[in-house]
């Protein structure tokens, strides 16, 4: 029984370690794909339009292996997700994308002006110089 537990533990550790991203010092190039906006739901579209009106470049539907990030600040590896009622799903997203090198930010379905300001604050807390690099993009 103990041998089985050890083997399973080692398999889990190896599985997790194999998914840890290798950080590249090379800057990422972000392509503009306006057509992907059509796939956004109402709340995601509102967040997308608000962030872009503030001068942020937001990518839509980024694939990370077999999972999709609906909204992302791709060069900074910040993923934006709508909060789900299923807390287990939210935790899975947080852990999974963290292992892939992404920082996750969750927003509620009730999008208000205060929620949007809080979202900006949370993004800037994750990566302090996001505002310096992404604001006022012409």
Q: Are 83 and 106 in contact (CB under 8 A)?
A: yes
Q: Which H or E run includes 43?
A: helix 42-53
Contacts 24+ apart (CB under 8 A), 88-94: none
Task: Give the model confidence (pLDDT) of 128-137 as tens digits.
Answer: 655 555 444 4
Task: Give the model confidence (pLDDT) of 10-68 as tens digits.
Answer: 767 766 655 555 555 444 555 555 545 567 888 888 888 888 888 788 888 888 888 88
Q: Report the C-alpha gap between 10 and 54 in whole angstroms.
A: 47
Q: Look-up: residue for tokens 């950080």?
A: 23
Q: Are 102 and 78 in contact (CB under 8 A)?
A: yes
> What's phi and psi for 29, nearest 5 deg?
-100, 130
Q: What is the pTM of this model?
A: 0.66
Domains and CATH numbers, the chain: 35-134 (3.40.960.10)
């Amino acid at each position: 029984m103990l041998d089985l537990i050890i083997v399973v533990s080692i398999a889990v550790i190896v599985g997790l370690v194999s998914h840890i991203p290798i950080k590249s010092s090379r800057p990422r190039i972000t392509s503009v794909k306006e057509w992907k906006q059509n796939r956004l739901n109402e709340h995601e579209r509102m967040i997308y339009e608000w962030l872009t009106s503030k001068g942020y470049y937001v990518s839509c539907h980024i694939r990370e292996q077999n999972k999709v990030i609906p909204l992302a600040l791709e060069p900074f590896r910040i993923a934006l997700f709508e909060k789900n009622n299923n807390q287990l799903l939210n935790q899975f997203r947080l852990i999974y994308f963290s292992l892939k090198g992404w920082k996750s930010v969750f927003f509620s379905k009730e999008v208000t002006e205060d929620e949007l300001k809080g979202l900006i604050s949370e993004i800037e807390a994750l990566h302090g110089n996001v505002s310096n690099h992404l604001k006022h993009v012409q």
